[in-house]
Structure 1
């Protein structure tokens, strides 16, 4: 369902007379999906390689959490989680981020004995002392893998400091130190930190003393007897993933605001992000450094010329309405449940009839009215985000309206299926209807299996770690420029 190569152009080229031909903006589907999935655990896990940068604001007063084996005041740069259960995973003595279960050695345990140290650790609770200015790197950008989750950081953001990239949770301190140094030396202190996602959203905050207020420091619940540390089976793990899954579709509470009018995305530079059609996820690691330089310059300009607090159109809200209006109906049209051409076209006409003047039929006008259904008159339509949302909307409307003119059932179904493959909406992988003590399990670094990605299923809180090959253990071949 989440294919990355579009068959839409072929479908549109085959349309018969009395229909409208329409060529989508290149990569509009990927940009649309980046907007739709931004700050959402679900879509950002499935489209885990991201490729886009946004300016983000975390409002003053937002509560944030840090797990540590010490109760001492936290010195930056360090990590903050949005969900306390996420922070609890790091309350015991180990470096930031344990390796995936079964994929590496257990984190080193340190000797504790001082009054401000504990084997079970502490949960530090903070509130943002002012609006935090952050750079949001989308996708599973905190996943320490060679699958491409860190491409946009190591090839774009850290150009010069980490040109050869690198994988592994042991290098996280280096990334944090380098980013915070860049904030001061390259961008004049215009950011407070970086916003990323693994199994949960996190902030790398550069200056704790200036940016957050300590609310409390609490000793954590003792580890259960016989439970191994760092595994999904311990009590922290059983709390962790349900809390993360509650953020599948929204970070919640307006805790993060993104600027959608100004973003930097690899999808607009004509880059070969899917070399030879061999990958379902975009990559940057095979591209020569000089091809990435325009994107690096635009990222600098984004940070230097725009404020995180600038007002912008919420194009994610518009994308949501598009997905909600058409998602289930497109899937139904492609399913074969409408068994005749007449039934199929009646279903399609029900969808597009509000945009048709039956006295003066004009498919071109109908497509335009349909595609702008959710676009307010005051919205600027000149930005990258606007262009992507409108392009995807036009693709949907043109395909549906053109289908009313066709005389072959298989042709109509084929074009709807081609549209679905092009759109690749992550909502179509949702389990739908999990029980109260279950989540729809997908790979979220460092957890998950290949089958969890291909066929997400409802799984009980007590048995979240599935069987089979580990998804993040897959090693894709790396190419150097």
Structure 2
């Protein structure tokens, strides 16, 4: 690490072109927002989402809901994309089932085990798993990052400051029923019914759907397994107090969430990448270091309401002028190709394994050779050919994603061409290190292949440690909660859960 630091200092002392010329500000963050959208992995690392996308869930898609009643739900409620996620909400609650004025919460299962078992005659010991299919193409607003995480870490900044216009300022992060009701009121009254709900993520993706009765078809409602009675052992390794089933539920929940690290899958969600809005597009000073975790993340709490007003207006125009189902170019697929092509190469080049300038140049030439005319060298043409490799000729020229993906691809190719012509090894490594710091691709934190019974654990609310964030590692899925200082701080107590 100290060698890389020395290289960077050397590069800065010797001088370099202005960083904003080589690496346009925030193009990297918009690129990463596109790349991580609807992916559990990248959205867990970049958990303070700063962007809003229009999203469509196709008709016929299966979604799940868990509660304490076999009666189909009407009105506004939550849906999960994975049944294991919904099963969390079928578990018993300390004082009976939740009601609209006492919302329930996704981590009740974890709090429950700490508070002891339910009385054996409690009628709410076993709940119900509801399976629905969408009756039409749902029109949703996707709030990116881990926007369903009830934390003070910044996960709810974009909702509270932009979507809800500071109506929750100074109030606890747990006003989830109020957020859902306000979102649906705005969908009806402000946006002329153009949205059916919100799409968010915690440990798993969820939909806040405004009208279950209108937008869903009931497939089935099934009774879930109850807690083991006191004094009995159970197959999950519990102690007879119900904790075994609860721990098993947490294991299933996090395994299901981890299965979506690479994406929601099956085109169950389609995003409009040609038209979206992002805080990174307004020239705002966003990044702040967390006092709790020591990690830099974007925040909106320090930005004045006046400076956020253009963002709010653009969000409203997005919803009123565009639709989730309108055709759009798949910029995420292009971002994927850029990352898959260069992530391993850049990590290898900065790893210290290439010990001389000659070795480094040979490796760079291997990457660039398809774009070089060795009879007529022209570095400008080489950069163009390299940066446009994955971008179809008919791809849009305008839009946030178009500019960000083109810019990031060009930054990669320009740096490689520049470093290839270098004669100074420390300066070359410093340039490459500056590039990787700028890119901050989330793939560089992946664990690699984990054993079949393990998951690569990154903090997914409400579990995870600071060490899990800095150095994710494979962990037995039955014990996802690692040791060390909690990443999300102190969990709030009932009855403030959604």
| TM-score using structure 1 length | 0.90
Matched with 1:327 is 343
The match for 1:207 is: 211
**CA 1:260/1:109 → structure 2, altered by over 3 Å: closer, same or farther?**
farther
1:134 has 2:147 as partner: no
Give the superposition deviation at 1:404.
Answer: 1.3
Partner of 1:434: 450
- Residue 30 of structure 2 corresponds to which residue in structure 1? 31
Describe the shift of the 1:109–1:162 C-alpha distance in structure 2 as closer, same or farther (beyond 3 A): farther
| Aligned equivalent of 1:79 | 78
CA 1:228–1:306: 2 relative to 1, 3 Å: farther
Out of 264, 269, 278, which is 2:282 matched to? 269
Aligned length: 461
Measure, in 1, the Cα distance between the counterparts of 2:129 and 2:111. Answer: 26
On the 8 A contact 1:12/1:399 being kept in 2, the answer is: no
Q: 2:249 aligns with which of 220, 230, 236?
A: 236
Displacement after TM superposition at 1:234 (Å): 2.1
Cα distance in 2 for residues equivalent to 1:393 and 1:103: 48
Answering whether residue 321 of structure 2 is matched by residue 317 of structure 1, we say: no
Question: 1:91 touches 1:122 (CA, 8 Å); kept in 2?
Answer: yes
Query: Per the alignment, do residues 108 and 354 of structure 1 end up closer, same or farther by CA in structure 2, a change over 3 Å counting?
Result: same
Q: Is the 8 A contact 2:288 2:296 kept in 1?
A: no
Q: Summarize deviations over 1:123-164 as a string: whole Å, max 9, x none.
A: 000000010000000000000000000000000000153244
Match of residue 172 from structure 1 = 176
In the superposition, relative to structure 1, how do residues 106 and 308 fare at CA in structure 2: closer, same or farther (>3 Å)?
A: farther
User: Which range moved further: 267-276 or 126-135?
Assistant: 267-276
Q: Is the 8 A contact 1:259 1:311 kept in 2?
A: yes
1:89 to partner: Cα distance: 0.3
Residue of structure 2 in register with 1:155 after alignment: 161
Change (3 A) 1:104 1:182: farther
Aligned residue number for residue 98 of structure 1 = 107
C-alpha change, 1:149 and 1:357, in structure 2 (3 Å) is same
Distance 2:39 2:74 in 1: 29
Corresponding residue of 2:186: 182
User: Could you list the runs of 5+ residues in structure 1 that have no partner in the other structure?
Assistant: 2-6, 476-481
Aligned partner (choices 290, 306, 309) of residue 322 of structure 2:
306
| Aligned counterpart, 1:402 | 418
Alpha-carbon spacing, 1:230–1:258, altered in 2? closer, same or farther (3 Å): farther
Q: For 1:380, what is the secondary structure of its paired residue?
A: coil
Contact in 2 for aligned 1:154/1:166 (Cα 8 Å): no
Deviations 1:393-450 (A, max 9, x none): 1110000001111111111111111111111010000000200000000100011111
SS of equivalent to 1:49: coil
Q: Report if the CA contact (8 A) 1:161-1:178 is conserved.
A: no
Matches within 5 A, 1:299-378: 299-378=315-394
The two structures have a TM-score, normalised by structure 2, of: 0.87
Q: What is aligned with 2:67?
A: 68
Change in 2 beyond 3 A, CA 1:275/1:367: same
Deviation at 1:222, TM superposition (A): 1.9
- 1:316 offset after TM fit, Å? 0.4
Aligned-pair CA distance for 1:118: 3.9
Other structure's SS at 1:66 match: strand
Output one character per residue of 1:180-228: Cα deviation in whole Å (capped at 9) or x when no partner: 0010110011000100000000000000011010000000022245466
Residue 343 of structure 1 and its aligned partner are, at CA, apart by 0.9
Q: 1:15 to 1:358 in 2, by over 3 A?
A: farther
